[in-house]
């Protein structure tokens, strides 16, 4: 494997949280932020990378939080899956407004709104140079969209998962709360699990470990953040075997 700075990936799954799309807004979608991220994804595709995106729904509804209000967890997660489709459709249009074709595919069938997710359909769209947005999580409750991102990466034989966060990598503690927190340059999946690093859930790390899928953790806060990571520039943390 190449060192982190010179790592190159052809096909990747980008994991975006719903909160990444709300920008400075308290909830929902921020038009400026949505356009910036769509432009970044389109540029990465223009540079020759095959881009799939798994998007969360926390800017509209988060299943685990909904369960805390009295909604049964399975039902709350179903609502959360619908929120991810809302984000997926918005992202699809935003990417197309950048001049790049995109397709939103949902793990929860809703053919009047978007295509249903299948491995064959996703690979077809990627081969055509389209950005694929995999919405609807895994289609099942009790699984996070982080796990969904690694699952899609395994299905699509992706070279890596790019985990977009609000900070530039994985730290020993929350750098926004602890000024002494140190950033890891590189970790193994086992180390991430053993240290209970909260950047992704344990199931996601375990699935990535089983399938030997690298995870690159980076900040989505800057313009061209995704394209920069794919070019081997910028600060990030590599979680790899």
Of 214, 238, 224, 218, nearest to 45 by C-alpha is 224
Domain membership of residue 139 (yes or no) is yes
pLDDT recorded at residue 35: 97
Q: Is the dihedral of CA 17, 26, 87, 9 positive or negative?
A: negative
**What pLDDT band is residue 153 in, cutting at 50, 70 and 90?**
very high
The model's pLDDT over 43-91, given as tens digits with 9 standing for 90+, comes to 999 999 999 999 999 999 987 777 778 899 999 999 999 999 999 999 9
Q: How many residues does the chain have?
A: 241
Average pLDDT value for the chain:
93
Query: Which of 24-28, 51-55, 117-121, 133-137 shows the lowest mean pLDDT across its residues?
Result: 24-28
Has this prediction a pTM greater than 0.85?
yes
Domain membership of residue 21 (yes or no) is yes
Q: How many domains does the chain have?
A: 1
Domain membership of residue 172 (yes or no) is no
* CATH number for the domain that contains residue 151: 3.40.1160.10
pLDDT recorded at residue 7: 57
Average pLDDT over residues 31-37: 97
Task: Compute the half-sphere exposure of residue 83: CA atoms within 13 Å on the CB side of its CA.
Answer: 25
pLDDT recorded at residue 69: 82
**What pLDDT band is residue 6 in, cutting at 50, 70 and 90?**
very low
Domain membership of residue 214 (yes or no) is no
pLDDT recorded at residue 5: 42
Containing structural domain, residue 73: 8-160+193-208
Domain membership of residue 240 (yes or no) is no
Domain membership of residue 171 (yes or no) is no
pLDDT recorded at residue 198: 79
Domain membership of residue 3 (yes or no) is no
Distances from the Cα of 211 to the Cαs of 40, 123, 189, in angstroms? 27, 18, 11
- Per-position DSSP letters for 160-195, written without gaps between them: EEEEEESSSS-BSS-TTT-TT--B-SEE-HHHHHHT
Domain membership of residue 25 (yes or no) is yes
- Give the single-character DSSP code of 238: E
pLDDT recorded at residue 3: 46
Q: Please tell me the distance from the alpha carbon of residue 97 to that of residue 38, in angstroms, as a whole number.
A: 9
The model's pLDDT over 125-134, given as tens digits with 9 standing for 90+, comes to 999 999 999 9
């Amino acid at each position: 494997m190449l060192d982190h700075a010179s790592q190159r990936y052809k096909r990747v799954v980008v994991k975006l949280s719903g909160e990444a799309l709300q920008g400075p807004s308290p909830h929902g979608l921020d038009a400026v932020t949505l356009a910036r991220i769509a432009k970044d994804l389109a540029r990465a595709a223009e540079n020759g990378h095959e881009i799939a995106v798994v998007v969360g729904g926390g800017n509209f509804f988060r299943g685990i939080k909904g369960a805390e209000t009295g909604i049964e967890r399975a039902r709350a997660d179903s609502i959360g899956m619908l929120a991810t489709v809302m984000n997926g459709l918005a992202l699809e249009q935003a990417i197309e407004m950048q001049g790049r074709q995109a397709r939103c595919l949902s793990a929860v069938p809703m053919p009047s709104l978007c295509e249903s997710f299948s491995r064959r359909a996703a690979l077809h769209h990627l081969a055509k140079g389209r950005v694929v947005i995999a919405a609807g999580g895994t289609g099942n409750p009790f699984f996070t969209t982080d796990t969904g991102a690694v699952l899609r990466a395994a299905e699509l034989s992706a070279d890596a998962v790019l985990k977009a966060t609000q900070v530039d990598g994985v730290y020993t503690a929350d750098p926004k709360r602890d000024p002494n927190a140190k950033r890891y340059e590189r970790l193994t999946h086992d180390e991430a699990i053993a240290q209970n690093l909260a950047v992704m859930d344990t199931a996601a790390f375990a699935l990535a470990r089983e399938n030997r899928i690298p995870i690159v953790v980076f900040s989505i806060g800057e313009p061209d953040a995704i394209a920069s990571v794919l070019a081997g520039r910028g600060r990030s943390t590599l979680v790899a075997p």
